[in-house]
Amino acid sequence: MIKRVKGTQDFLDLTLFNFIIEKISHHLALYRFSQIATPIIEHTELFTRSLGTATDVVSKEMFLIEHRGDGQHEDQEIEHICLRPENTAPIVRAFIENGIQTIPWKVFAWGPMFRYERPQKGRYRQFNQISMEIIGAASIAEDAQFIMMLDRFFHETLQMNNYAILLNFLGCPQDRVKFKEKLRAFLDKLGTAVCANCMERKDKNIMRIFDCKISTCQELYQNAPHIADNLCPTCEQEWNAVQLQLQMLSVSYVYKPTLVRGLDYYSKTVFEFASNQLGAQNAFCAGGRYDGLVKELGGAEDQPSLGAAIGIERLMLILENYISRLALPQKQALQVVVPMGTAEQSLALILADVMRASGLCVEVLLEGDSMKSMMRKANKLGAAHCLILGSDELASKTVTVKNMVTGEEKRMPQVEVVGFLSAFAKVT
Ligand code: ATP
Ligand code: MG
């Protein structure tokens, strides 16, 4: 047997998945976001330029495709393409490439992302994200509104209450240059007491030391300097403003000084929504501000921006715990047409066709079993009614309608069936 690729999943029931997409689309429309879609494949350089080569995603987790043009010529240049690991950089690329002039550009997109990670609960190699971005959002008040928008969605629309919003402020690039020096001096004092991984991070991506999973490192870092205590006056003011506005909007958050996020493009506000129901992979939504990214990717003008991504699989893991509380769409009542023999099959197909044209959900049993076994089959399918067509019914242009809940049977002219069942559906 050929099995699915490691770290991928088959979705055999999309009810919850589609429910999430429908609800978030509606919610985002209230904030004037419109939906877009970008390709699943992009040039690898888009991510090395934006996320940074020293990040885990780019250095270890990329699904790379190398393509030599049409394959006909040996000397053709190799095209470096990859499966997208995230969707912020592609959306920014789309903004620049399509010459979007309407600022702010408020868009969302959803679809699969790919990262070559070690698969475990809540961590897959192909997973789905809903990405929301505001490109051209200079005011820091946008940050509070954005976090509120997400909080209202999880708390009110999805009725979640078992999560925390973790918040930090990474300052401007100048703040980070200064802070990294300070952090390096702190690490120098610790010498070789930290793990080999952190020694490497110190040279390549120093702020990521705070993500170290090793407890001895974590203990040592308790006395480390924090970026939010080392901001320039403008950033300091903005950091205070974000917090004050969140408080005024009744959005509870936890200041987490060690939240640095994995990707290089973040500046200023960063946040994560984390649930204690997810175990080690506890973040189901994450994002922040990326003021320099548009310019970095070749945009003519600077466009301060912010965005976030919801991990759909992780959100589903949480929602599955209380699925009965959600108003998931109900399946339509099923009507089963039961032709007793091959002579009645054509009539059964015509009747079913007319019924479906009136919006009824219909299954026709065409396997020609005994009456008893067909009724059992209909019951198993969860039929609301069975519409029995035998030789009598065929001759008299009638149909016997059996209510599968009460067992009641009623014979009526075929032309009356749709009216009868539609009226029935309205009452129940
Ligand atoms: P983590 O720290 O859990 O690896 P991340 O910082 O790499 O997350 P982001 O790049 O911010 O994640 O992606 C946003 C969201 O996408 C995450 O909060 C998570 O819900 C989801 N996500 C990220 N990687 C995976 C994955 N491999 N499988 C499933 N969901 C994922
Ligand atoms: Mg990750």
Tell me the average pLDDT of the chain. Answer: 94
pLDDT at site 52: 87
Q: How far is the CA of 345 from the centre of ligand 1 (A)?
A: 53
273: pLDDT strictly greater than 80: yes
Q: Region 362-389: what's the mean pLDDT?
A: 94
Q: Which of 66-75, 193-202, 326-335, 387-396 has the lowest mean pLDDT?
A: 66-75
74: pLDDT strictly greater than 80: no
Does the C-beta of 127 come closer than 6 Å to ligand 1? Answer: yes
426: pLDDT strictly greater than 80: no
83: pLDDT strictly greater than 80: yes
343: pLDDT strictly greater than 90: yes
Whether domain 334-427 has CATH 3.30.70.1400: the reply is: no
pLDDT band at 62 (very low <50, low <70, confident <90, very high): very high
Nearest residue (CA) to ligand 1, atom 4 = 281
pLDDT band at 290 (very low <50, low <70, confident <90, very high): very high
CB 363 within 8 A of CB 379: no
Q: How far is the CA of 283 from the centre of ligand 2 (A)?
A: 10
pLDDT at site 98: 98
- The residue ranges of DSSP E strands in 293-415, in sequence order, are 305-311, 334-339, 361-364, 383-389, 398-403, 409-413
User: Alpha-carbon distance 168 to 183, whole Å?
Assistant: 17
User: Alpha-carbon distance 151 to 380, whole Å?
Assistant: 42
Q: Relative to the CA of 211, which ligand 1 atom is closest?
A: 2
More confident residue, 390 or 281: 390
Does the C-beta of 115 come closer than 6 Å to ligand 1? Answer: yes
Among 129, 132, 306, 313, which is best to mutate for testing ligand 1, by the most ligand atoms less than 8 A from CB? 129
User: Alpha-carbon distance 261 to 241, whole Å?
Assistant: 21
pLDDT at site 369: 83
Q: How far is the CA of 131 from the centre of ligand 2 (A)?
A: 15
pLDDT band at 424 (very low <50, low <70, confident <90, very high): confident
According to CATH, where is 3.30.930.10 located in the chain? 15-172+232-325
Nearest residue (CA) to ligand 1, atom 3 = 281
Each residue's pLDDT tens digit, 155-181: 999 999 999 999 999 999 999 999 999
pLDDT band at 95 (very low <50, low <70, confident <90, very high): very high
Ligand nearest to the CA of 89: 1
Question: Residue 391 CA to chain centroid, in angstroms?
Answer: 53
Which residues, listed in sequence order, are joined to residue 335 by a DSSP beta bridge? 362, 385
pTM: 0.93
Q: Region 147-152: what's the mean pLDDT?
A: 98
Q: How far is the CA of 116 from the centre of ligand 2 (A)?
A: 10
Q: What percent helix, strand, coil does the chain show, rounded to 5? A: 45, 25, 35
108: pLDDT strictly greater than 60: yes
Architecture of domain 15-172+232-325: 2-Layer Sandwich (3.30)
Q: Region 107-114: what's the mean pLDDT?
A: 98
Handedness of CA 215, 169, 248, 285 (dihedral sign): negative
Q: Relative to the CA of 129, which ligand 1 atom is closest?
A: 16
Does the C-beta of 208 come closer than 6 Å to ligand 1? Answer: no
Q: Region 373-399: what's the mean pLDDT?
A: 96
Count of beta carbons in the 10 Å neighbourhood of residue 126: 17
pLDDT band at 31 (very low <50, low <70, confident <90, very high): very high
According to CATH, where is 3.40.50.800 located in the chain? 334-427
pLDDT band at 75 (very low <50, low <70, confident <90, very high): low
Q: Region 393-407: what's the mean pLDDT?
A: 96
Say what percent of the chain tops pLDDT 90.
85
Does the C-beta of 270 come closer than 6 Å to ligand 1? Answer: no
Pairing mode, if any, of strands 126-135 and 305-311? antiparallel
pLDDT band at 71 (very low <50, low <70, confident <90, very high): low
pLDDT at site 73: 65
